[in-house]
Amino acid sequence: MARVTGTGEEMYALVERMYPLCRSITGDGVRATLDIVGEYIPLQRHEVPTGTQVLDWTVPQEWNIRDAYVADATGRRVVDFAASSLHVLGYSVPVARTMPLSELREHLHTLPEHPTWIPYRTSYYRPDWGFCLAQETLDALPDGDYEVRIDSTLADGHLSYAEHVVPGQVSDEVIVSSHVCHPSLANDNLAGIAVATYLARALAEGTPYYTYRFLFAPGTIGAITWLARNAERVERVRHGLVLACAGDSGQLTYKRSRRGDAGIDRVMRHVLDASGRPHRVTEFTPYGYDERQFCSPGFDLGVGSLSRTPYAGYPEYHTSADDLGFVSPEAMEDTLAVCREAFSVLDRDRAYVNLSPYGEPQLGRRGLYDALGGRSDAKEAQMAMLWVLSLSDGEHGLLDVAERSGLPFATVAAAADALHGAGLIKA
């Protein structure tokens, strides 16, 4: 596969393509989104029938919508699904009625504190219908009768999700998950999908140590469905990362796994600290994105979550203000870079055994000092070799060496490669 270039702009263009689609936890909008992602990376698609028992949940009926509006007495659409997919309460049942504004108000959702924004609201598991609109639009509506129409279907169908696998040297897996169930929300949904897509492409340029499994699924019910259908594969999951809110201008935020000290937790903390980027590392809470499903006590997987401004942490969250202007190529590029750095460390972090543990082996005789000649970081590289030899006891990995020595992980990994090549350590 050709090397990825101009990734920030390309990821933004991918977000632009997906933005108009009306997504929900099921339906054709999810499939259309997966169709687009499938143009960038090969996907294995799955369709799980309505009524399928998945852990403590049941796959719901499939929802699709073709049109919806509120029209005044002149026929003018004062609220129009065609203008924004956010205008309809997600999973609204079909409606075709005329009613006075006083009755209609019970089904209208606004944000009085942000009068120009449209909120995002859903009613997945309770039959209901409604419209979301700007408060200023509602304030301008005169009393009178309005035609209300929602041309939707809620019927037995399927829940759709997809996987992409980057084969590794071992069958142990790293999960990368992003949700595909939100409509026109650029940061909370689409930026994470775009970063995950280009991360998969970047990993495919080489042969990673771990096998990387990318999961594109609707939030909550999608992750639960995957876990229910992959009990045998869960045993091979060693690490995981949920990507969400990956494109805004806020500083990077990493949320630890439920374990708190899983391999991905240590790697993300190290990479963010070493990068010098403004960032936060927060403790696990059982609220947020699908890390809470992967980390549920029965599975207890080492899965953390990476975002920029985290879940519900910005005013534009779940509103029409989370639009294409709210995300940037630069922010997505930065998120992608951190993911690549982290997975590079994850792939190389292995423990070694010193094959000459009695006293310090003679490095010069093996040409290891000569190999450093002329390097601007020769002293640092020499210290890295000594540290790797000292901590190669089968108990300490290279990340332990980097953290204890204060040396860059890349320098430690290069030292390990040199010592391994000289026959002084073995994995």
What phi and psi, each to the nearest 5 degrees, are found at residue 194? Answer: -65, -45
Residue ranges at the known binding site for Zn(2+): 182, 188, 318
Contact 408, 395 (CB under 8 A): no
* Percent of the chain residues topping a pLDDT of 90: 92
Distance CA 25, CA 160 (A): 8
pLDDT value of residue 329: 96
Structure-block tokens of residue 329: 């190529």
Residue 78 confidence (pLDDT) above 80: yes
Distance CA 356, CA 79 (A): 76
Reported as a pLDDT band with limits 50, 70 and 90, residue 372 is low
β-partners of residue 253 are 280, 307
Residue 375's pLDDT band (cuts 50, 70, 90) = low
- Quick one: average pLDDT of 388-403? 95
pLDDT of residue 82: 97
In sequence order, the 6+-apart residues with CB closer than 8 A to the CB of 176 are 196, 199, 200, 212, 213, 214, 215, 240, 241, 242, 243
- Each residue of 122-156: pLDDT tens digit? 999 999 999 999 999 999 999 999 999 999 999 99
By mean pLDDT, which of 95-99, 156-160, 231-235, 264-268 is the weakest?
231-235
Confidence of residue 1 (pLDDT cuts 50, 70, 90): very low
pLDDT of residue 34: 98
The torsion of the CA quartet 171, 199, 262, 421, rounded to 10 degrees, works out to 60
Q: What's the mean per-residue pLDDT of the chain? A: 95
pLDDT at 4 over 60: no
> Which tokens go with 162?
């997809």
Tell me the pLDDT band of 3, cut-offs 50, 70 and 90.
very low
Q: Determine the Cα–Cα distance for residues 352 and 322; give it in Å rounded to an integer.
A: 47
pLDDT tens-place string over residues 269-283: 999 999 999 999 999
pTM of model > 0.85: yes
| Confidence band, pLDDT 50/70/90 cuts, at residue 371 | low
Residues 46-58: tens digit of each pLDDT: 999 999 999 999 9
- 374 pLDDT band (50/70/90 cuts)? low
Domains and CATH numbers, the chain: 7-60+158-348 (3.40.630.10), 62-155 (3.50.30.90), 351-426 (1.10.10.10)
pLDDT in tens, 401-412: 999 999 999 999
Instruction: Give the residue ranges of the annotated binding site.
Output: 182, 188, 318
The H-or-E segment that residue 111 falls in is: none
CA distance 249 to 334: 10
200 CB burial (10 A radius; 0-12, 13-18, 19+)? buried
Alpha-carbon distance 135 to 110, whole Å?
A: 5
Residue type, 238: R
C-alpha distances (whole Å) from 32 to each of 18, 45, 193, 423 are 9, 12, 13, 53
**What local confidence, expressed as pLDDT, does residue 120 receive?**
98
Per-residue buried b or exposed e for 369-380, using 16+ beta carbons within 10 Å of the residue's own CB: eebbeeeeeeeb
- Using alpha carbons, select from 142, 59, 149 the residue that is nearest to residue 98: 149
| H or E, element range at 243 | strand 237-243
